Amino acid sequence: MSCMHTGNSSLFKERFEFMNKVETISGIIRSRRAIFPAMYTGEKVPEDKVWELLENANWAPTHRLTEPWFFIVIPQEKIHKLCEFGAAWYKEYTLPEVYSEMKYQKIKTKALSASHIIAICMKRDPEKRVPKWEEEAAVACAVQNMWLTASAMGLGSYWSTPGYALNSKEFFNLKKGERCLGLFYVGVPEEGLKLESRRQDVKSKVRWFE
């Protein structure tokens, strides 16, 4: 009798668990959405949940184990400092013909509803054992781990890359070889949000080598 017929065989159990895992991870991956601060209630996320995000970020793949990611966590009480820096940076570095007072005000206030903002940072391997892009890719993998975890927790989150964040070396007191690659927003989403997204058919992006 084959294992499939025994019902309680370990092979059947493993296969069943595997199917469950695939369904679970596919569900999380496909339902993950960019959820913006305008959609947050302003409530705080408990710190242990933030640590869970960071722990999973830390398990990203990394060529030669350079582990190039690190994070600066900005709790809600301090977010106003980032907003003020962002707005001032925008005012200083935006060409007058592009500058918008509305955008300036938005930068000053929009992030305040977040519970935490995590600055996504990268430290280049001092010996440059792997190309820079591979370290950037590893950081992106870490961010995706956080994003998927936040989604599984029912939190709102997204990766934002405003000019001021990419030019925040002094603000975050970064050292030589360190860079900020953007901000990861974390917040409690309002109930009943309709979050839609779309992707082109994967078949249009796949070529089977013949």
Per CB under 6 A, residues contacting ligand FMN are: 33-34, 158-162, 182, 197
Q: 45 vs 146, which CB is nearer to ligand FMN?
A: 146
In the bound complex, what is the minimum distance in angstroms from residue 103's beta carbon to ligand FMN? 13
User: Shortest approach of ligand FMN to residue 162 CB, angstroms?
Assistant: 6
Q: Which is nearer to ligand FMN, 86 or 182 (CB)?
A: 182
Pairwise CA distance, residues 9 & 126, whole Å = 51
Where helices occur in the chain by DSSP H, the ranges are: 3-6, 10-31, 47-57, 79-93, 101-109, 132-152, 163-166
Q: What is the dihedral of CA 68, 76, 55, 39, to 10 degrees?
A: -100
What CA–CA distance (Å, rounded) separates 29 from 49? 19
Residue 158 beta carbon to ligand FMN: minimum distance, rounded to whole angstroms: 5
Q: Which residue's CB is nearer to ligand FMN, number 5 or number 198?
A: 198
Of the CA atoms within 13 Å of residue 210, those in its CB half-sphere come to 1
Nearer to ligand FMN, 94 or 160 (CB): 160
Least CB distance to ligand FMN at residue 177 (A): 21
- Closest residue (Cβ) to ligand FMN? 197
Q: Which is nearer to ligand FMN, 100 or 161 (CB)?
A: 161
Beta carbon of residue 77, minimum distance to ligand FMN (angstroms, whole number): 24
Alpha-carbon distance 186 to 146, whole Å? 10
| Residue 153 DSSP code | T
